[in-house]
Amino acid sequence: MLQTNLKHITTEQEFRDTLKNNEQVMVCCGRMGPMCIPVYGVMEELEGEYGNVAFRDMEFDGPIGHLIRTLPECSSFRGLPFTVYFKNGKVVKATSSIQTRDQVTGILDQHFSVKQHGHKHL
């Protein structure tokens, strides 16, 4: 189990339901490693700012990690984590390896609809 404050996707049904029930989804598929942890941290912070995006994580080596690993958009990836952005169930963007907050918000702002400003307590 990933030690993050994000909601974890652990079954194929959860994965399908997440894509079905949320128009915009960001899934970070990784391990508790140095390239992955910063991305989880960014996602945890953005949950309070992008209320219309579902932020989820998934274990890269878990039983359903293949759902992300085998996506055509990830076929050339050789660096953790694999981060995939879904809109209406379709992949609109995927990245490999560590990403900064600016890189993540750049993708969210480009591919997803207008963000909803939430309030994040310090």
Pairing mode, strands 7-8 and 24-30: unpaired
What distance in Å separates the CA atoms of residue 80 and residue 23, rounded to the nearest whole number? 25
Query: What is the closest distance, in whole angstroms, from the C-beta atom of residue 96 to other proteins in the complex?
Result: 3
- According to the binding rule CB under 8 A, does residue 75 interact with other proteins? yes
- According to the binding rule CB under 8 A, does residue 65 interact with other proteins? no
What distance in Å separates the CA atoms of residue 95 and residue 44, rounded to the nearest whole number? 18
Query: What is the closest distance, in whole angstroms, from the C-beta atom of residue 3 to other proteins in the complex?
Result: 7
- Tell me whether residue 18 or residue 95 sits nearer to other proteins (CB atom): 95
* Terminal alpha carbon distance of the chain: 26
Binding residues for other proteins, per CB under 8 A?
3, 31-38, 40-42, 45, 75-80, 95-98, 100-102, 122
